[in-house]
Structure formats: structure tokens, C-alpha cells
Amino acid sequence: MELELHGEVWSWRGPAPHHFVTVPPEECADLDAVAPLVSYGWGMVPVTVTIGATTWPTSLWPKDGGYVVPLKASVRRAEGVEVGDTVTVRLVVST
């Protein structure tokens, strides 16, 4: 399954800060259909993500009934992405 979405980069400032893009509800519904087949625990969904020219493997994190895409610092630097930016995210669910 491949999805393309647009979302705003936001930051969680916990003890280990992370940056994310929230997957919109429509795409979450599509992901819910395949999640039971690919999830490896805690509702994590393995994906390959592309933003701009950068592609990397990661997993979608479940949050508030949906999913969020974690953005590594190296990806944000490579693509010049900051909190508040709207980015286009391409997801390929790993099977």
C-alpha cells in the first residue's frame, strides 16, 4: 500500500524530544485495514517514508486513534524542514 499525504511538522518536547507529522483521518482509515497484517506490536506499522529527496525506513506510531510519522533529525536537516512547515509525505507500508 502506498499513500501520499500533506501535514504540518510538530514537536513533542518530552524527555526525549521528537518531531512528527500527523497522518490525516482518511489515510488512517486506509492504514487501519492493513495494520493487523503488518504491525509488529504496540500498533506500530512499518513503512518506508519519503520527504523530498530523502527516503528512510521507520514505523508509524499510534496516537489518539490515528498515526503519526516520526521525523529523524537527519531527515529534517537534509530537507530543511522546521516545526510548522507543511510537508508532502509518501508512505509505503512494508509487508
The string of pLDDT tens digits covering residues 48-91 is 999 999 999 999 999 999 999 999 999 999 999 999 999 999 99
**Cα angle value 71/84/82 (rounded, 5°):** 50
User: Which pTM was predicted?
Assistant: 0.91
Provide the pLDDT for residue 6.
Answer: 97
Which of 2.40.30.100, 3.30.420.40, 3.40.630.10, 1.20.1630.10 is the CATH number of 2-93?
2.40.30.100
In the chain, what are the domain boundaries?
A: 2-93
State the pLDDT confidence band at 41, using cuts at 50, 70 and 90: confident
Which secondary structure element, helix H or strand E, spans residue 20, and what is its range? strand 18-22
